[in-house]
Chain A
Amino acid sequence: DTEVTQTPKHLVMGMTNKKSLKCEQHMGHRAMYWYKQKAKKPPELMFVYSYEKLSINESVPSRFSPECPNSSLLNLHLHALQPEDSALYLCASSPPGTDTQYFGPGTRLTVL
């Protein structure tokens, strides 16, 4: 298994909903990342997990809550989002000892 998978592919939610995004990899990578990407912009780093511990939080609002239950799985819990949070959410992972990141296909999120 040589890829990062993300579910769902698309998500539409209201501002009062609670939803979760899921990211999975089985490549033995020990660092995992969440990014937010707006149209025609580069990805913006949100969170970094290293060996299942949160190592970087780029001052992301608390309505985004990451979770890393094990070395293969990364979740992003969403609650009370705003329309401006609509974006492509990308997950990535990297092997131990390298900075090379491998990206998943993303979840297209629309907040109504």
Chain B
Amino acid sequence: AQSVTQLGSHVSVSEGALVLLRCNYSSSVPPYLFWYVQYPNQGLQLLLKYTTGATLVKGINGFEAEFKKSETSFHLTKPSAHMSDAAEYFCAASSASKIIFGSGTRLSIRP
């Protein structure tokens, strides 16, 4: 069965520092992959998605993710963190008309 693993339930970075949120999936066939962000008491907002083609995917708010089939990874990065990036981030993979979510990573930004 498809599964998604997010390493680190909580990541804290300084404002202006690199953001790296890790995600690995388990599947013999590369699925569609997604990153969603959730601000407190709000729904999930799609940051970016990988379907086919270019392995480096650019999303909203300056985020990007790289699909690496050999490592079954889809890590999310942003070169310079902003205070407004503080939120919960979910990595997800499609599987049989469903989306399988990782457990989430809470990103905190230190002033």
A interface list, Cβ under 8 A from B: 4, 6, 31, 40-43, 45, 48, 50, 55-56, 88, 90, 92, 98-106, 108
Contacts and interface: CB of A to CB of B under 8 A. Distances in A.
Interface of B: 32, 34, 36, 41-46, 49, 51, 90, 94, 97-99, 101-104
Contacts of B36: 103
Given A42-B104, A100-B49, A48 B43 contact: no
A43 B36 CA distance: 11
A45 B98 contact: yes
Report, nearest first, the 3 A-B pairs whose CB atoms are least far apart.
A42-B101, A99-B94, A103-B43
Chain A interface main SS type? strand
A43 B101 contact: yes
Nearest to A108: B41
Contacts of B46: 100-103
B53 to A, nearest CB: 14
Given A41-B104, A42-B104, A99-B32, A106 B42 contact: yes
B102 A42 contact: yes
Most buried by A among B43, B45, B97: B43
A93 to B, nearest CB: 12
Contacts of A90: 43-44
Contacts of B41: 88, 106, 108
A55 B97 contact: yes
A9 to B, nearest CB: 9
